[in-house]
Structure formats: structure tokens, C-alpha cells
Amino acid sequence: MVLVRHGQSEGNAAGIFTGWNDPGLSRRGFIEAECAARVIGNTRFDIAFTSCLTRAQETLRQILNEIGQNNVRTIQSANLNERHYGELTGITKQEARSLWGKDRVKAWQRSYVSAPPGGESLRDTLARVVPYYITAILPHLLRGENTIVVAHGNSLRALIMALEGIDRHRIATIDIPTSSVFSYQMNADGRSKKGYRCGWDI
């Protein structure tokens, strides 16, 4: 299974809390998706999963186009969407710090249990991502199908937390840059064996 965070979006470029808002990729984001495709190389995929948000879908299409696999069956699900940022949605990180204070905003961004007003915590995000992984994605892996999942920083943090057994304290230190690539081999019992990771600095 290959996991990819989407390339830089227009929201990322502007320093905005994007969440469930739906900007597309920036020009850099398309380049980052091409870089991710080069890391993936000649892996042949049987199925692809992505969120219902444009930036993830555009990244997946760019990757599949670059590796010559445009015909791969693709499933979209809101369960893979970025976490909902509630009242932070659509404002810049600097504006958020001015309104709520640096420490509170940092806690909302990084901790496992803290949620912004009207939004989701990482724990809330995990509560929808992991059941979806178990019911929709894992069966394909257990059948030996190569699978690619293109999603978002926090939906992938939640999934990786479960796959690697990362505790709620250490997850606060883990960041997933745009276009990062993770690869896992799955045992017959559904447990994962870690593979490579690659993040890009373009």
C-alpha cells in the first residue's frame, strides 16, 4: 500500500487553514505530484482511493498519468477528507494566532484530543479514517492487490498512527509535508510492515 499526501494546494500556498474547503493544487503542487510519481516508479496498482476534495483527486490523477496507469479503478470517500477545522477554516495561521493565541492554535494543530471550535480533533479524524480503512481498503490488501491512497496531512496522520502503533504523545511530533510518499507491506494477518518514506523540498 502506498500513501501519498496531496501536493501543495492554493490554500497551503496562502498559509490558510483549508480543511474541507476545496481549492485545487497550486503550480508547485502539480510539480510535487510529479515528484511523488517518480518515487513510486513502476509499481502497478490494482485500485486507488482518495478523498472527495479536489487537491487530493488532482494529485492522484497526476500521479497515475505520470506512471501510465490512468485506467486504475478509483474510489472517492469523504472518510479520507482532511480534518474539519471548524472556525479556523478559511483564515490564515497568523490570523488564528491573533484571535486565539499561539499556544491554543498549536494545540489544535498538533495534539490528539484538542479540536478547534466547531471542528475535529485528530482523534475525531481517526474515528472515521480507521474504520473506513478496515472495511473498504484492507480487504483489497488482503487479496494481494497493490493499493494507492492519496489523502491529506491529518487523515494520513490518523491512518499512520494506527498502522504503526504510534501513541497520542508521539503523533504530536509527526508532520507530513505535501507530496510525501509512504509505502507499507501488509502481512497476511493485516498487520503492516513499514517501508520507505519520502518528503520533497522543491
Residues that are catalytic: 6, 82
Cβ pair 10, 24 in contact under 8 A: yes
CA separation (Å) from 21 to 55, 96, 98?
A: 10, 16, 22
Alpha-carbon Rg of the chain, whole angstroms?
A: 16
DSSP state of 44: P
Q: Are 54 and 20 in contact (CB under 8 A)?
A: no
Distance, in Å, from the CA atom of 75 to the CA atom of 141, rounded to the nearest integer, reads 15
CA angle 177, 159, 64 (to 5 degrees): 60
Q: DSSP letter for 46, please.
A: S
Residue 16: strand pairing partners: 92
What is the DSSP-derived secondary structure letter of residue 92?
A: B
Q: Look up cell 507491506; give the residue.
A: 185
